[in-house]
Amino acid sequence: MYKFDTLIERRGTGSVKWDGHAQLGFPADALPLWVADMDFPVPAEITEAIKKRIAHEVYGYTLATDSYYDSIRGWMERRYSWPVAREWILTVPGVVPAINLALHAFTKPGDAVLIQPPVYPPFSNAVLGNDRRLIKNPLVLVGDRYCLDLEDFEAKVVENRVRLFVLCSPHNPVGRVWSPEELSAMAEICLRRHVLIVADEIHQDLAFPGVRHYPLPALVPACNENTIICTAPSKSFNIAGLQTSNIIVPDPLLREKYAAAARCWGMSKVNALGLVACEAAYTYGAPWLDAAMAYVAANGNFVREYLGANLPQLKVTESQGLFLLWLDLRGLGFTAEELETFLLHRARLWLNQGYTFGEEGRGFVRLNIACPRARLEQALGQLEAAVNQL
């Protein structure tokens, strides 16, 4: 019914993933399984809604409508039992801009901001690029599962007088969907120590079947007072190029400050087509999303089984969601730089190198599995052949 197995040609569309090699200096023939978008076509209802909007032929500045807000509130209520008031929702053209905006609104140069590497690189870029102090509470790999180090978390908060914590929930790149206990423990420390939380929940909808994601304030109501929740339909429905995100700020004072910063930076209005796509996604997209995540989870199992049978020295860390797998390639015995060269020039694979997620990621790579299974088979075959030639 859905075309997850169809190999769609994306070259020639300006795709960062498929066309970015010349600008970024990567070999043209390396198979791209890196940047976090999907190689799947979006749900038909999204395309239909965009076509209908395009037929109007006028694309001026556009506001979110009543039905737009209702679609977000309905989604959060149905999927997460999270009642979101309409006025809590602020539109911003992307979650990365939204995080930078939060740093501007709530911290000043020199303030300490905590992150949990290995983590999505724009987090550290935002902290360092805005002259804030980067404080790290690294995740700990226990067996093949990444865990929190809560003792270190609180010690770092106290020692450095941390003002703001950028939480990644679920966590990119390691694919952990944090449990209620883990989330509650982090929330409790932040509430007690007066730390503001920016919860990047852009991967919220990508938990594997049977795994549950909890929006932080839905689990810990007190977090309504200290949390900015960054959400977007972009990862879930493969519409990242439409640059539309919904930042949920329950506390009125935080919201006024945040909204003022957004107005000041000209970031309170979003793309006219993004609004239409978001509304269609949250209104009609659930069956497609559930089918896509079942396909992605099966892709993950395929990679695990393939590596287990053919390249047992390479490991896949445990994940509970996301269309990204975090592979431990330290068994090859390379430095991070050697590993990158080997993958690009011998295996002819363009993956996200682990060291870009923080030095904690050296020896690891992130593999995007939101693609037809045949493409994954090709990639794993190339990897196996290159390893066997060593």
Ligand X SMILES: Cc1ncc(COP(=O)(O)O)c(C=O)c1O
Query: Site residues (CB under 6 A) for ligand X?
Result: 36, 94-96, 120, 168, 172, 200, 202, 232, 234, 240, 245
**Separation between Cα atoms, residue 288 and residue 150, nearest integer Å:** 37
By beta-carbon proximity to ligand X, the closer residue of 95 and 347 is: 95
Q: Taking the CA of residue 118 as centre, how many other CA atoms within 13 Å lie in the half-sphere pointing to its CB?
A: 26
**Separation between Cα atoms, residue 292 and residue 236, nearest integer Å:** 9
Angle at 65 between CA 59 and CA 70, to 5 degrees: 140
**Separation between Cα atoms, residue 12 and residue 21, nearest integer Å:** 12
Helix (H) or strand (E) holding 350: strand 349-350
CB burial of 42-58 (b: ≥16 within 10 Å; e: otherwise) equals bbebbeebbeebeeeee
Task: Name the minimum Å distance from CB 239 to ligand X.
Answer: 10
Task: Name the minimum Å distance from CB 212 to ligand X.
Answer: 19
**CA distances from residue 53 to 66, 69, 78, 91, 282 in whole angstroms, order as listed:** 16, 18, 26, 19, 17
Task: Name the minimum Å distance from CB 101 to ligand X.
Answer: 11
By beta-carbon proximity to ligand X, the closer residue of 95 and 187 is: 95
By beta-carbon proximity to ligand X, the closer residue of 16 and 185 is: 16
By beta-carbon proximity to ligand X, the closer residue of 271 and 342 is: 271
C-beta neighbour count of 108 within 10 angstroms: 11
- Bridge partner list, 91: 246
Task: Name the minimum Å distance from CB 321 to ligand X.
Answer: 12
Of residues 202, 230, 231, 199, the one with CA closest to residue 216: 199
Of residues 211, 218, 220, the one with CA closest to residue 190: 220
What are the helix and strand counts (H, E) for the chain? 14, 15
Task: Name the minimum Å distance from CB 240 to ligand X.
Answer: 5
**CA distances from residue 122 to 96, 126, 206, 250 in whole angstroms, order as listed:** 7, 6, 20, 25
By beta-carbon proximity to ligand X, the closer residue of 93 and 217 is: 93
**Looking at beta carbons, which residue is closest to ligand X?**
94
By beta-carbon proximity to ligand X, the closer residue of 71 and 231 is: 231
Task: Name the minimum Å distance from CB 191 to ligand X.
Answer: 23
By beta-carbon proximity to ligand X, the closer residue of 177 and 232 is: 232
Task: Name the minimum Å distance from CB 253 to ligand X.
Answer: 25
Task: Name the minimum Å distance from CB 310 to ligand X.
Answer: 29
Angle at 179 between CA 147 and CA 118, to 5 degrees: 35
Task: Name the minimum Å distance from CB 251 to ligand X.
Answer: 22
- Bridge partner list, 313: none
By beta-carbon proximity to ligand X, the closer residue of 240 and 383 is: 240
Task: Name the minimum Å distance from CB 331 to ligand X.
Answer: 26
By beta-carbon proximity to ligand X, the closer residue of 96 and 387 is: 96
What are the tokens at 351?
Answer: 């993956």
What are the tokens at 342?
Answer: 């080997």
Where helices occur in the chain by DSSP H, the ranges are 16-19, 21-24, 44-54, 66-80, 95-106, 122-129, 150-160, 180-192, 216-219, 252-264, 272-284, 286-310, 336-341, 373-388
By beta-carbon proximity to ligand X, the closer residue of 166 and 190 is: 166
